[in-house]
Structure 1
Amino acid sequence: MKELKEIIGNNISLLRKQNDMTQQELAEELAYSDKSISKWERGEASPDIEVLVKISELFQISIDSLLSENTLDEQQISDKKKQGQIKANKIIITCLSISAIWLIATVLFITGKFFNNKLNWPIFIWAIPLSCVLLLIFNCIWGKKTLICFIVSLIVWSLISCFHLQFLLNTGYNIWYIYFLGIPLQVAAILWHILIKTSKRNK
């Protein structure tokens, strides 16, 4: 009979792979290092009860299933289908929400042309950072935390581009140097991401 540590390790490994997660991604979700995840999965150590509760909540299973041998193997096929459907629904909801932003932008564009006889095409430029903000919100709710830094970078540079182009259209003055503002903001986003990862690894 397998030791409890080995059973828990096998179950954690199985759940992680079923959900298409790397050890690093699971470590970030649990606020632990990837080395700890590796030790758990190899049966060299076992997580404490608080971590077991987090794992059960993360993967939506009971702690009994996490501690039992072969229980997860029996549920693997059905759970994988459910997870796949949930993942697909999340992607669809995200895409529909972002599409709504572009639909509103299109309506405003057509309305402006109809009433003011102006082509308000900058509306589509502003739709880019708005879409990124919405993507960031959904990613924070149910996405991969590793993408946050990338999405924040998109928001920073797209907003700066919007201000630059809008100011150029309204005044005719090219404030190209506004892009220098993006450098410290980008560095801050990267350092913040590194700080979060480092603090989690040290736990």
Structure 2
Amino acid sequence: MENLPEIVGTNLQALRKAKGLTQQELSAQVHYSDKSISKWELGYALPSVDILLDFATYFGVTLDFLVAEHAQGEVAKQEEAKRRKTDPNPPIIMAMSVTFVILVAICIFFSRFLFAGEDADQLAFWPVFVWMVPFTFALLSAETQLFYHKSIATLTLASIALWTFIASFPIAFSRPDLWMILVVGGPIQVIFILYRNLRKKRS
């Protein structure tokens, strides 16, 4: 089959992208150089049988699947269907993690009532609810990337986590002058965007 290298390359690329991996990340997982992976995906060379078996094992497909031609999008759909069967329910896990964060914040807040004296400020721990907000969005950002591999959603949640974290300082410490630290968020936000674009180009 004259176009076998191209077929295999197309399948490898589709499987890699379905997992949300860059060539460098896949290289670290399967222990083949990213240059070799790029060469195989472009159809410039055909991997040996033992290498194909390694890829088949890693992606959870058969060797026949790797060397067979598939309709556009079929590989990604199969990978997504397999992921849904094997992965836990992402929305439930994300909801549970957020609930856990809220529960921890409530426990910290009410611990003041249990262990502080009667003359102590019972509301002294209220800032815990302020810090809870950026931590929650940071957690959701990480889980969105882990489960869905959606860079825009991940970037959005990470950005919210960043700005709420910076805003937490003047709010939690009741220091209006600390609002000036918001300017720090600008360069960090730019780094977030550039990093997303870099990952997108690599994939």
TM bracket (short chain): 0.5 to 0.7
CA-atom RMSD in angstroms:
4.5
Q: What is the CA–CA distance in structure 2 between the aligned matches of 1:53 and 1:139, rounded to whole Å?
A: 30
Contact residue 113 and residue 120 of structure 1 kept, 8 A: no
Give percent identity, aligned residues only.
28
- Number of paired residues? 181
Measured in 1, the distance between the counterparts of 2:122 and 2:161 equals 31
Residues 130 and 172 in structure 2, CA contact (< 8 A), matched pair in contact too:
no
Whether contact under 8 Å (2:16, 2:26) holds in the other structure is: no
The one-letter code of the counterpart of 2:100 is A
Are residue 49 (structure 1) and residue 47 (structure 2) matched? yes
Aligned partner of 1:92 in structure 2 is 92
2:66 is aligned with 1:66: yes
Q: Aligned residue for 1:123?
A: 128
Give the conservation status (yes or no) of the 8 Å contact 1:149–1:193.
Answer: yes
After superposition, give the CA deviation of every residue in 1:95-148 in whole Å (9 maximum; x if it has no partner). 322321111111122233454522633212211222233334434544416244
Q: Counterparts of 1:91 and 1:163 in 2: how far apart (Å)?
A: 30
TM-score (norm 2): 0.60
- Preserved CA contact (<8 Å) 2:112 2:124: yes
How far residue 186 of structure 1 moved from its aligned partner, in angstroms, is: 0.8
Specify every segment of 5 or more residues in structure 2 that has no aligned partner in the other structure, as ranges: 28-33, 71-76
TM normalised by structure 1 equals 0.60
Aligned residues of 1:113 and 1:119 also touching (Cα < 8 A): no
Q: Distance in 2 between matches of 1:163 and 1:156?
A: 12
Offset at residue 163 of structure 1 (A):
1.0
| Structure 1, unaligned runs of 5 or more | 71-76
Matched residue type, 2:140? L
Taking a change above 3 Å as real, the CA distance of residues 99 and 57 of structure 1, as seen in their structure-2 partners, is: farther
Q: 2:171 aligns with which of 153, 165, 169?
A: 165
